[in-house]
């Protein structure tokens, strides 16, 4: 009898333990199921309102390319809403709008705000020290240029964080009513350009007018200006410059190295998560390569169209004109440096970098023109 009772007790204990294990398992499973079944609550993305200085054309495509990279990498946590030219403020007001927080960011070039400080132009439309836009960007990222830019922002009291990308090929001298063989033909002409290039060409005897891109072709058509440049064969074609001139001069030192500036309101930028800040930065660096690969082919294709479809005569600007440009640059740089120590400081930094880097590159690079002529004549 006692043996049977003991056996029954053991059976009851075993049954209780089994039920407890089952209940614990059920509870765990229930929690897991509840977790899986619970609705996902999406975290609202941080949206940055960024205005571009471009109403259309290839530069707006470039701005969209940068934005697409950011939006894809951010995975929904960060989104840039790209606004076209004049959507919120005029191009000339964009930097102030970002500084005040009216806009979260802007996509433009430093030459568009150089009236605040001529030093701004050195980050895009400065003198050539034998370098291209690629090497200028190298100076910005690794030669001390970014520190100097941020120092300039502090001096001007601007609440901005900027990234630089997209090495532009040297900009054409532009569109004229006749073929230019010497600088003397340019004296007295009313000419459109921007940035410090305006000072240089004024020094060469031209009468410079600074106009937004969309106003260039109508101004030349009406006679308000006699000659003009914007940036490249694709943009120039989009503006219809081939309809007001058939004389197009490539190669020039007036704007031989330029890049885009993507700028953000510093308070807005600093409030982002570190990984989001990194995305904005590294998307800029990625766009640097994409711009060059993408745009150079388009420029080459559109240059062919200008010649073959629109009957445009394309010339290389004479070396004598470009030599006179460098002399004019010397005058302008010396004049501003004498008045502005910070400007002189930036020029010195650029020269140190260019002298060292270009010494290597010019010694090392073969004559690509020689190879081109060998194959294509």
- Per-residue pLDDT tens digits for 114-160: 889 999 999 989 999 999 999 999 999 999 999 999 999 999 999 99
- For the chain, how many residues are written? 377
pLDDT at 210: 86
Higher pLDDT, 149 or 33: 149
At 21 the three-state DSSP class reads helix
Lowest mean pLDDT among 13-27, 33-47, 277-291, 350-364: 13-27
Q: What is the mean pLDDT of residues 51-63?
A: 95
Higher pLDDT, 181 or 15: 181
pLDDT at 5: 36
Tell me: the pLDDT tens digits for 93-113?
A: 999 999 999 999 999 999 899
Q: Nearest Cα to 199, choosing from 126, 108, 95?
A: 126
pTM for this entry: 0.86
Q: Is the pLDDT of residue 168 over 80?
A: yes
109 near 232, Cβ under 8 Å?
Answer: no
* pLDDT category of residue 212 using cuts at 50, 70 and 90: confident
pLDDT at 9: 37
Distances (CA, A) of 371 to 33, 303, 376: 69, 21, 9
Lowest mean pLDDT among 10-19, 70-79, 161-170, 233-242: 10-19
Listed by start position, the domains of the chain span 46-167+258-296
Q: Is the pLDDT of residue 322 over 90?
A: yes
pLDDT at 280: 98
Q: How far is CA 6 from the centre of its chain?
A: 86
* pLDDT category of residue 43 using cuts at 50, 70 and 90: low
Looking at the chain, the whole-number percentage of residues with pLDDT higher than 70 is 89
Class for the domain spanning 46-167+258-296: alpha beta
Q: Is the pLDDT of residue 10 over 80?
A: no
Establish how many alpha carbons lie within 13 A of residue 231's alpha carbon, considering only the half-sphere containing its beta carbon. Answer: 28
Q: How many CB atoms lie within 10 A of CB 285?
A: 14
Lowest mean pLDDT among 15-29, 241-255, 296-310: 15-29
Number of H helices, E strands in the chain: 13, 11
Average pLDDT, the chain: 90
257 near 167, Cβ under 8 Å?
Answer: yes
pLDDT at 11: 46
Bridge-based pairing of strands 227-228 and 46-52 is: unpaired
* pLDDT category of residue 6 using cuts at 50, 70 and 90: very low
260 near 166, Cβ under 8 Å?
Answer: yes
Q: Is the pLDDT of residue 28 over 70?
A: no
Q: What is the mean pLDDT of residues 326-340?
A: 98
How far is it, in rounded angstroms, from Cα 164 to Cα 137? 7
């Amino acid at each position: 009898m006692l043996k049977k009772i003991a056996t029954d007790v053991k059976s009851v204990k075993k049954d209780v333990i089994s039920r407890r294990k089952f209940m614990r398992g059920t509870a765990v499973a229930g929690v897991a199921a509840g977790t899986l079944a619970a609705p996902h609550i999406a975290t609202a993305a941080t949206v940055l309102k960024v205005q571009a200085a471009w109403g259309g054309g290839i530069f707006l495509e470039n701005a969209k390319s940068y934005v697409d990279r950011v939006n894809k990498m951010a995975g929904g946590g960060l989104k840039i809403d790209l606004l076209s030219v004049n959507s919120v403020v005029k191009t000339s007001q964009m930097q102030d709008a970002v500084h005040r927080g009216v806009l979260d960011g802007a996509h433009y070039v430093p030459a568009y705000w150089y009236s605040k400080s001529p030093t701004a132009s050195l980050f895009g439309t400065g003198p050539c020290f034998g370098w291209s836009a690629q090497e200028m960007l190298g100076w910005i990222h690794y030669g001390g240029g970014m520190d100097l830019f941020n120092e300039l922002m502090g001096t001007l009291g601007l609440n901005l964080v900027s990234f630089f990308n997209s090495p532009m090929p040297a900009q054409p001298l532009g569109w004229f009513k006749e073929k230019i063989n010497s600088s003397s033909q340019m004296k007295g002409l009313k000419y459109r350009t921007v940035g410090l290039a305006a000072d240089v060409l004024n020094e060469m005897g031209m009468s410079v007018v600074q106009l937004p891109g969309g106003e260039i072709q109508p101004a030349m058509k009406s006679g308000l200006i006699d000659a003009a440049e914007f940036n490249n064969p694709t943009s120039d074609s989009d503006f219809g410059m081939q309809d007001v001139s058939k004389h197009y001069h490539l190669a020039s030192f007036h704007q031989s190295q330029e890049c885009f500036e993507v700028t953000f309101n510093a308070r807005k930028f600093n409030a982002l998560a570190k990984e989001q800040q990194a995305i904005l930065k590294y998307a800029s660096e990625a766009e640097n390569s994409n711009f060059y690969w993408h745009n150079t082919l388009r420029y080459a294709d559109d240059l062919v169209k200008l010649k073959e479809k629109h009957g445009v005569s394309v010339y290389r600007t004479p070396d004598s004109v470009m030599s006179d440009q460098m002399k004019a640059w010397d005058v302008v740089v010396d004049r501003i440096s004498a008045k502005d120590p910070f400007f002189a400081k930036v020029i010195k930094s650029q020269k140190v970098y260019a002298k060292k880097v270009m010494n290597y590159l010019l010694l090392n690079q073969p004559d690509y023109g020689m190879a081109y002529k060998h194959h294509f004549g």
